[in-house]
Structure 1
Amino acid sequence: MSKQGKGVALVTGASSGIGEATADRLARAGYTVFGTSRRPASTGRLFEMLTLDVTRDESVDAVVKDIMRQAGRIDLLVNNAGFGVAPAAAEESSIEQAKAIFDTNFMGVVRMTRAVVPHMRLQRSGRIINIGSVLGFLPMPYMALYSATKHAVAGYSEALDHELRTLGIHVSVVEPAYINTPFEANVMKPDAPLDVYREVRAGVERRVKEVLVGADGPEVVAEVVLKAAAANHPKIRYAPGLASRMRWLRRFAPAGVLDAGVRKDLRLEA
């Protein structure tokens, strides 16, 4: 680890929500934190903000080089940047939109990892924590593309940990359930909506909004990220809050019961 407190952390998507809460929590725990956002962010935080677009190789490389110039190392990478997708049938998104969703939510993780791992290898130490979702192990109807990106993040994280742990680098994925953040208020709408799905799409969206009202705040995720970052033997997968119960159901509940429960909760026809 760095002599600068507990180390140097890079948190993507840190202008609001989970990313901001995580960057703030790490800074208060003693890390030197660099947060990022696609657009220049306001100051007044406990951590420095840098402009980064995870869909552009040159932007990723420039930010990592800037941090290495300033701090000399990166001990922790938290891949949080991404966007939500409004409930929609899978066929209501064009191929172009599907590519855009994957380019940010999955390929953004890949780009950041490829840029940071060489430095961690030279250090023979490092932690990578990817922010996934409960939908990475329990897919949700009318969220097929988003669920697919989070499955990809989970699979990538688990495989990557096997590859890197002998080099002193550990990888974890944190998979929260519903989190009440501004992230959920700025979601991508389907670009090829079909009237046949209009009513059920609206119904699922109403149900999601209902659940979000009483959902945990982003601080729950931030605490789990800190726990994973500090653990001597970090787990590959963490499920904070409600997600831990959902993981248990996914593992032990009969498939038919779980299937029926998902449809009932979203008020879909049997």
Structure 2
Amino acid sequence: MKTGKYINQTGARIALVTGASSGIGAAAAAALAAAGFKVYGTSRRAMNASEGAFVPLVLDVTSDASVTAAVAHIVAREGRIDLLVNNAGFGIAPAAAEESTLIQAQAVFDCNFFGTVRMTRAVLPAMRAAGGGRIVNIGSALGFLPMPYMALYSASKHAVSAYSEALDHEVRGDGVRVSVIEPAYIGTAFESNLAEPDAPLEAYRAVREGVVRRMKELLLGAEKPALVADMVVTAASARQPRLHYAPGMAARVRLLRRFAPARVLDAGIRKDLRLPA
């Protein structure tokens, strides 16, 4: 197995962070820059660099052409990409799974899951040629403990987790390691930018509105993006990175998922979200 030139390179390591215009992506880009990386931060729309912390780059993770062009631009300019942080994603405002059409469901997966796949496929040849690299995928606690009325987002993040586990085995021999960071509630603009369900049903309206209210309450005490950003730096720099990282409250949620009896956990979820018995 290759030892990975990634750890031993001299000079600034090159990082590519998707969805870096705000929230976790912006915090991760800034934290990586502070840790000595040269960071390219991407967004679907043109943006200004945050006080020079990273180089802004337009990239749409749902477009094969956009992904290919952006990665080729960085490789041509820097000669390599040492770290990919797959952060770009979106969700749907709390709604029943039945309240999204197949088109909307596909859109969630095209960004959250297939966007990760596109980016990974684009950077792996350069990492393999360089003898190593790191891929850090931003998942969610909802990927291992799905939330009612967030079924599609939960499913997309569950897919990211499974993909990350399998991929880490496949590329480890090339000196590439993969980690997935799975936070719980994080206070960002993500929640205010949630898409509305495109096929709302009256049958779910009352419960859906109650879940929306409960989510707003939970977000009042949400953890900060810096918590996740620091873990991105840890995963990117550790000689022996862990496959799964669960920052803050997510670590406690993971323990509950692992050890609590299924019936107790099921009842707890419904009570916390104030769902009818």
The reply to whether TM is greater than 0.5 is yes
Code of the residue aligned with 1:131 in structure 2: it is I
Q: Which runs of 5+ in 1 are unaligned?
A: none
Change (3 A) 1:181 1:45: farther
Partner of 1:78: 85
Q: CA–CA distance in 1 between the matches of 2:65 and 2:177?
A: 26
Partner of 1:54: 61
Partner of 2:180: 173
Partner of 1:245: 252
Partner of 1:164: 171
Partner of 1:21: 27
SS at match of 2:190: helix
| Cα deviations by residue, 1:92-151 (Å, 9 ceiling, x for unpaired) | 000110111100000000000000001111111100000000011000001110010000
Please report how far the alpha carbon of residue 45 of structure 1 lies from its aligned counterpart in structure 2 after TM superposition: 3.5
| Cα deviations by residue, 1:150-197 (Å, 9 ceiling, x for unpaired) | 000000000000101111000000000000001111001100000110
1:66 aligns with 2:73: yes
Please report how far the alpha carbon of residue 42 of structure 1 lies from its aligned counterpart in structure 2 after TM superposition: 2.1
1:122 aligns with 2:129: yes
Code of the residue aligned with 2:165 in structure 1: it is E
Partner of 1:139: 146
Partner of 1:219: 226
1:30 to 24, 27, 36: 36
Code of the residue aligned with 1:124 in structure 2: it is G
- TM-score where L is the length of structure 1: 0.98
Code of the residue aligned with 1:71 in structure 2: it is E
Q: Which runs of 5+ in 2 are unaligned?
A: 1-5
Counting only pairs closer than 5 Å after superposition, residues 175-190 of structure 1 correspond to structure 2 as 175-190=182-197
SS at match of 1:182: coil
Q: CA–CA distance in 1 between the matches of 2:119 and 2:173?
A: 20
Partner of 1:109: 116
Q: CA–CA distance in 2 between the matches of 1:194 and 1:121?
A: 49
Please report how far the alpha carbon of residue 233 of structure 1 lies from its aligned counterpart in structure 2 after TM superposition: 0.7
Q: CA–CA distance in 2 between the matches of 1:45 and 1:243?
A: 32
Partner of 2:3: none
Contact 1:87/1:205 (<8 A) preserved: yes
SS at match of 2:45: coil
SS at match of 2:156: helix
Please report how far the alpha carbon of residue 221 of structure 1 lies from its aligned counterpart in structure 2 after TM superposition: 0.2
Which shows bigger deviation, 63-72 or 103-112? 63-72
Change (3 A) 1:45 1:84: farther
Code of the residue aligned with 2:270 in structure 1: it is R
Q: CA–CA distance in 2 between the matches of 1:107 and 1:179?
A: 23
